[in-house]
Amino acid sequence: MSYNINEKGYYGEFGGAYIPEMLYPNVEELRQNYLKIMAEPSFQEEFDALLKDYVGRPSPLYFAKRLSEKYNTRIYLKREDLNHTGAHKINNTIGQILMAKRLGKNRIIAETGAGQHGVATATVCALMGIKCVVYMGEIDIARQAPNVARMKMLGAEVKPALSGSKTLKDATNEAIRDWINNPVDTHYIIGSAIGPHPYPDMVTKFQSVISEEIKWQLKEKEGKEDPDYVVACIGGGSNAAGTYYHFLNNEAVGIIAVEAAGKGIHSGKSAATSVLGKEGIIHGCKTLLMQTIDGQITEPYSISAGLDYPGVGPLHSHLYKSGRGEFYSATDDEAMTAGLELAQLEGIIPAIETSHALAIFEHKSFKPDDVVVISLSGRGDKDLQNYIDYFSL
């Protein structure tokens, strides 16, 4: 079985472009050009140079000695948290801003939940001198004030999404509506491996630098390119897609996804999409999503704003459905505990999203000689208030 996208934009039965006709010219323009543009040597050169000199890549692959001792296995952390702006999100926004420039676009829109993708987008727009509008749910604007301020400082306009539940799903709706209203000059930088084809594939390819580096870094450290397992947290699934990408077709490498179980999978307050979701259409793509029996999309919950998305990228739906990926979910409590543990064992405060991946050790035991690479997708600065409240620090 292949785990790569097919020529029609599907991973197995998931993916495609279920979009209103108003979006067709934009999405089609992108579909026809994205692979060509990404293959241009001048594009590659500019992308690589910015990743190196501006983002600070390669990000280290760090052997977590004390964590490994505790769980009696060999744990490596892929340090995406050390990237400029503090998470893996910037890999994608750098790629897409270069794409937008080559497509002749002079206005950028984006959606954001916690604000990490919004900040990463505002950052590359400032870098390139391009106008930037970020849609953010009204409720998220209130609870993520520092990131709103960062975006404003970077020159972006932050527009509140006032519809529906006023969170990430609605911010995405508003960004799509903006694109419908501005079909010629605007590029939409989607932040996760979701949306209509070619977005899931394009975002995955921009993020695939993560697994590309893991391979040569592991070769240096372990004498072999392939770990036994790669582990990542999944909301929409962009850091996971990048972490898995170069291992997808090598079945010897176990692929592990950790979703947010919130207060518990069946508590009614969860974001464990693979378990709770059913096949449907969200934001232009066919994938697993949380919905009512009548097909209305429901609101997920997680303590981590970056994981509370009611769908999951189509690649991940395929990995789940085909059995290629092992899917687990971590509750708020398990994630917070794992985050604190990493801080105290390794001196690294992770983003709460990332803490979910670290909670894998609550759910699965590894052999002493297993090499387990965990994507440390983001740093925890933005989550300090949550940690403070949770642990009464």
Partner 1 sequence: MNRINQKLKADKKLLSIYFTAGYPNIDDTATIIRNLEKSGVDMIEIGLPFSDPLADGPTIQASSTQALKNGMTSDLLFKQLKDIRKSVSIPLIIMGYFNPMLQYGVEAFCKKCEEVGIDGLIIPDLPVDVYNEVYKSTFEKYGLVNVFLITPQTSDERIRFIDSVSNGFIYMVSSASTTGSKAGFGNVQTDYFDRISKMNLANPQIVGFGISNNETFTKATKQAKGAIIGSAFINFVSENGIDNINEFVEPILN
Residues that bind partner 1 (CB under 8 A): 16-22, 24-25, 163-164, 169-170, 173, 176-177, 180-184, 278-284, 291, 293-298
3-state secondary structure of 305: coil
Question: Strand 186-189 and strand 325-331: pairing?
Answer: unpaired
> Could you tell me how far CA 333 lies from the centroid of its own chain?
22
DSSP 8-class letter at 265: T
Q: Considering beta carbons, is residue 13 or 228 the nearer one to partner 1?
A: 13
105, amino acid identity = K
CB of 289 to partner 1, least distance (A): 8
Our CB check for partner 1 shows the closer of 170 and 353 to be 170
CB of 277 to partner 1, least distance (A): 12
Judge whether 377 counts as a catalytic residue.
yes
Nearer Cβ to partner 1 (30/240): 30
Active site residue 152: no
For 88-237, where are the alpha helices, taking DSSP H only?
89-102, 116-128, 138-143, 145-153, 168-181, 199-207, 209-222
Assess contact for 257 and 275: CB atoms under 8 A. no
The three-point CA angle 144-150-153 to 5° equals 140
Specify whether 13 is catalytic.
Answer: no
Catalytic residue among 111, 174, 213, 259: 111
Of 237, 127, 151, 150, give the one whose Cα is nearest residue 191.
Answer: 237
Q: Tell me, what amino acid is at 201?
A: D
Q: Where are the alpha helices (DSSP H) in 347-392?
A: 352-358, 384-391
Tell the smallest beta-carbon distance from residue 173 to partner 1 (Å).
Answer: 6
In the complex, the smallest distance separating the C-beta of residue 363 from partner 1, rounded to whole angstroms, is 31
Helix, strand, coil: what percent of the chain each, to 5? 45, 20, 35
Element (H, E) at 164: none
Least Å from the CB of residue 245 to partner 1 = 27
Instruction: Name the residue nearer to partner 1 (CB basis): 189 or 240.
Output: 189
Catalytic residue among 89, 166, 269, 286: 89
Q: Which is nearer to partner 1, 284 or 339 (CB)?
A: 284
Are 235 and 260 contacting, i.e. CB atoms less than 8 angstroms apart? yes
Q: Hey, which residues are catalytic here?
A: 89, 111, 377
